[in-house]
Structure formats: structure tokens, C-alpha cells
Amino acid sequence: MIRQTLLGAVAALAFALPAAAQDFAITNATVATGDGSEPIENATIVVQNGRVTAVGSGVPVPAGVPVADGAGAWVTPGLFATVTELGLWDVGAVSESNDTGASGSPFSAALDVAPAINPQSQHVKVSRAGGITHAAVAAMPASSIFGGQGAIIDLGDDPDPVVRPRAFQVVALGEGGARRAGGSRVSAHALFRNALREARQYGEDASISGTASRAPETRTGDDMPLDPRLVDNEAQRDDVLLSRFDAAALVPVVNGSQKLYVVVERAADIRSVLALRDEFPALDLVLVGASEGWLVADEIAAAGVPVIADGLDDLPGSFEELGSTQSNVGRMVRAGVKVAINASAMEQPRYLPQFAGNLVALSKLPGAAGLTWGQAFAAISSVPAQISGLGADAGTLSVGQAGDIVIWDGDPLEVSSAPVRVYIDGIQQPMDNHQTRLAERYRDLDTSDLPKAYDW
């Protein structure tokens, strides 16, 4: 009854949900740091002022810090779900509640998910209860090959979910991009190159106009200084396909100050994406999907491009995924590619541990390439944090990192396990949601005194 012991111990730390970070220490825990190493038994972790201040075997607990005996329970960093729709929808098929795509929008690259994210979404709450403390939120390409600018959020129970707005731009190449570009990959690449050239020109215009050095006075919707070109553009601009808003949004992509997530599956398409850097050397590329990544793993590794991969795809779901295999991630990791598991390839982001566990299971099968437990956990914690640009702050349990901590009732990659406590920045988080309330209400079906509507 590890869980009972731990629940009691941790409950002693927190009588009510505090709004501020608490100092606490957990001893005698099985700590997985998330950095790719194997779990450490009988370890201690100390959190002070919302940050990890000590972790490991035999580390001392500073005087005055409340201590709980973990009784062997698992303690991990919060999970980092990359490429999600969290906070962008309530019910998928209820279009009014769904902000994940805008096929009728006049804008594309300029779209910015940050103002739309709802931290009270049930999907945020359910994912938080599943141990996810951070997520990359993306809108997917709908009206064009560009999906717009994604944000990094934390899943804390507070009004400020966005940790980093406009953290990355999304573009679909391959089959999805081809459809949106007018019908072919050829068109998608032409549109893409043209857009980046326009953005490059647009950015260069800013520096030669003689006015861009003026102190910013106003903010536009994409949070860049008001550009004089928006007021008085004397530059010669023929063949312009992008709106100024979209072009402005792509300037940080083409100059490499914003990451570009490229949705792509086929080996040949991946090669074409890697080759884009011959023309646009500053691109900070991230591959998303990459079902055939294993076929070009050495080239991806040589290019130093990280991958957010569909963890368990093994069907030829389309002609761009003929080579799909569950060994894709393992083979890329062996080749030296930095790989995170793509949350958008599963029903719910909180399946991430299950997917990671399945990759561990592969290690027992001849011919398959699996991951070690440590590698698998890193693929849902530190690696996605690094790929998303938050690696210095989140994703591992190491000194100086945010106190994003999950205490589990068992091995976190095992399907029977679940979090019992979740902390974000050292603040204990609520675990309840619409689902937990329904389960409580219908634990019995007794309506002899009053209808169920009075049971709350």
C-alpha cells in the first residue's frame, strides 16, 4: 500500500491547496530525473521557493523544510506534451468550441494561438491530472500550409497559462501541405519558398527603411514593434502573396529566431526539408511526425534537427507513411537523433506514458529497436522540453529547474499507474475535473431519496 503511505505523507505537507509555492522534501523515493538516466531508488528531492534545490541519493534536507517519507513512491518531473491542442477546444466535433483550425481565415502564419488558450478547459484539467505540467499548443494548418504560431503553456490552475507565446511556427509539407497548397508537393514547396523569400525581403526592408530603429511605440497583434512599412511602404513589392501580417510573422522564422515545426512523414520529404537550409540557412527546424524518419535517421542526425515523432504508428496510413514502424523512434535515437514523442498522434496527451512504455516493451523483441526506461521517460519530459526551447527550466529534476513534480502510485510508464500529486513551480495542483466529479456521482446508482442532480 505504497500509495496510502505516500498519500498520507504528502497530505501532511499540504492541508489545502496553496496559491504559493511551498518548500518541501520527499525522502525514500524512486526518483526518475528525466534526463535519460535510469531511476534512482531511495533518493531525496528538495523543493524550495518553487525550484528544485537538491536531488539524489543521500542529499541532506535543509533545516526547516518539511519532509515526507515517499515510501518508495515514484517521483518524476512533470511530463511535457509537445504538439497538443490543449486549451483550444472543448468538444472536437462542436465546431463553435473548437479553435484548432481556421480553414476560412484570411490569415495563416500570423495566426497566434496564445490569446485563445483557455486554462479552464477540461482537457487541460484532465491532462494535468495525468501528470502533464507543460505543453506546446499548436493550431494546425487549415487555410494554407502554415498553421500559425504555437505557444508553450504550463497547466497550472491559474489564469496565466502561456509561458512562451509564439514559440514556434507550424508548416505542413508532405501530403497535408500539398492538399492545402493547391494539390501537390510541388506547389507546397513553391509556396513555402516564396513565403520565406517574401518574409526575408520584408525583414530586410525594415532594416533599410531608415525608420526601423525608431523606438517601438505600439504593439501589433503579433507583438512586434510597429513597423513603418505598415504605415508608409515605399519599397517596390511585386508578386506579393502574403498579407503583411503573415509576412511579418515569418520574419523570425526565416532569420532563425523562431522555431519552425515542419509536419512531414515520408523519407523523401524529410530530405527535401533538410535541404531547405541550403537556401535558408538560419531555419531552426523541428520535424513533426516523421514516420519514415528511421529510413533517413543518419541524415537527420547529421543535420542536427530534432524530431517530434509519432510514437507507435506502424500502419501505412497513407502513401507517405508506408515505412511506418514502432521501431522508428528507437532507430532514430540509436542514430543520434534527439526524439520526443508527439502527443498529437494519440487520442489524449495523457497517453504519453503509455506510448513511452510501449517503446520500452520493444526492447524485448528481436529485430525491434526499443528504448531504455530512462530514454523513454526522457522522450516525454526533458527531450520535448529541450526541443521546445524550455530545456533550461523544465523537463528534469535537477538543481535549479522549476518545481514541476509528479508523485505517482507506481511506475509512471505502466498503464495501471497514475499521478497522486502534481506540483507546478512548487505549487500543488488540483486533480479534479468533470470526469472525476461524474465518477463520484455515479459510484452508486441510488436515487431513492433524490435525483442524482442533488448529489454534488
Q: How far apart are CA 261 and CA 130, in angstroms?
A: 25
Cβ–Cβ < 8 Å for 99, 139:
yes
Q: Return the residue of 246, 269, 292, 404 that touches other proteins, per CB under 8 A.
A: 292
In the chain, the amino acid numbered 372 is T
**Cβ-Cβ contacts under 8 Å for 445 (sequence gap 6 or more):** none
Q: Return the residue of 53, 258, 344, 381 that touches other proteins, per CB under 8 A.
A: 344
Q: Return the residue of 15, 213, 319, 451 that touches other proteins, per CB under 8 A.
A: 319
- Measured from the Cβ of residue 451, the count of other Cβ atoms closer than 10 Å reads 7
Place of cell 517530434: 308
Cβ–Cβ < 8 Å for 417, 112:
no
Cα separations (Å) of 270 from 25, 287, 290, 320?
Answer: 46, 8, 7, 11
Cα separations (Å) of 363 from 193, 343, 373?
Answer: 41, 22, 10
Cβ–Cβ < 8 Å for 52, 29:
no
Q: Return the residue of 32, 124, 262, 312 that touches other proteins, per CB under 8 A.
A: 312
Backbone angles phi, psi at 233, to 5 degrees: -100, 110
Could you say whether residue 118 binds other proteins (CB under 8 A)? no
Q: Return the residue of 143, 201, 233, 348 that touches other proteins, per CB under 8 A.
A: 348
For other proteins, the closer of residues 324 and 428 by Cβ is: 324
Q: Return the residue of 295, 341, 379, 427 that touches other proteins, per CB under 8 A.
A: 295
Site string for other proteins, 44-83 (x = CB under 8 A): ----------------------------------------
Contacting other proteins within 366-405 (CB under 8 A): 366-368
Size of the site for other proteins (CB under 8 A): 69
Could you say whether residue 124 binds other proteins (CB under 8 A)? no
Q: In this structure, is the dihedral angle defined by the CA atoms of residues 108, 109, 111 and 117, taken in order, positive or negative?
A: positive
Contacting other proteins within 187-216 (CB under 8 A): none
Contacting other proteins within 87-116 (CB under 8 A): 90-95, 100-101
Could you say whether residue 299 binds other proteins (CB under 8 A)? no
Instruction: Give me the residues that bind other proteins (CB under 8 A), please.
Output: 85, 90-95, 100-101, 122-123, 140, 176, 263, 265, 267, 288-289, 292, 295, 310, 312-319, 321-327, 342-348, 354, 357-358, 360-362, 364-368, 413-418, 434-435, 438-440, 442-443, 445, 452
